[in-house]
Amino acid sequence: MTYATTLQPCFWPPHATRYRARMEPVGQDRSDEQLMLAYAAGDARAFDALYARFATRLLRYLTRLVQRPSVAEELFQDTWQRAIDARQRYQPTARFAAWLFRIAHHLAIDHIRREQPQVDVSVLAHFPDTSAAPLQAIEDEAQLQRLVDALDTLPAEQRAVVLLRAEGDLTLEEIAATMNTGRETIKSRLRYALAKLKEALR
C-alpha cells in the first residue's frame, strides 16, 4: 500500500509551518513536474515528495478560501485524489503548482456556489492600473491576525486571487487560467485586495 492510497485527514491550523512528511521524501533534485511524471510512471515515493512540498500551502489556501476548516480538509483530500486519478493524463504543459491549485480552486468555488448561492463570485470591476507589491512575510502575531481577519472579509473571488498568489505562488497568467478570466481582471482584483489588506494593517 502506497502513501498515495492512505491519505489521512489533515488537522493542521491554516498558519501551520511545522508540517513534515511522514515519510522521508525523495527527489529533492527534481522539479515538481518531473516528480509528477515519475509518479505517473509508477514511482510512489515521487508522490510523497510532491505531497511534502505542497500539503501545508494547499491546506492553508483552502482553509482561508472556504473559511471552514472541516470543509477545507475534505476539499484538500478531494484535490489530492483528483491529482492521483489524473496522473496518467498529466502533461507538463503548465507548472505542477498551477495545475494542482487549479484543481483545488475549482473544487472550492463549486462548494461556495452550492453552499452560499448568495455570495457574488462574478467578475469584479476593473480598477486603475497601478502596480501592486507582493505580500511580505509578517512575523508579528497581532499583525498577522489582523491580516487574516481582513482576508476573511474579502469577496471570494478577490480572496482566491490573493491566496493563489501567496500560497500557490502562481503568476498572474496562471491565476487567470485557473479562474478562467483575463489577466487584467486578475491584476485589478489583486491590486484592490492588497490595498484593502494594507489598509487593515495600518
Q: Are residues 101 and 185 in the same domain?
A: no
Tell whether 28 is covered by a domain: yes
**Cα separation of 167 and 82, whole Å?**
19
CATH number at residue 76: 1.10.1740.10
pLDDT digits (tens, 9 = 90+) for 10-37: 333 443 333 333 444 556 789 999 999 9
**Cα separation of 119 and 113, whole Å?**
7
CATH number at residue 147: 1.10.10.10
Tell whether 43 is covered by a domain: yes
**Cα separation of 80 and 7, whole Å?**
9
Q: Are residues 109 and 190 in the same domain?
A: no
Residue written as grid cell 515528495:
49
**Cα separation of 200 and 184, whole Å?**
24
Tell whether 175 is covered by a domain: yes
Domain that holds residue 162: 141-200
Question: Structurally, how many domains does the chain consist of?
Answer: 2
**Which whole number is the average pLDDT over 62-77?**
92
pLDDT digits (tens, 9 = 90+) for 85-113: 999 999 998 899 999 999 999 999 888 88
The pLDDT of residue 194: 86
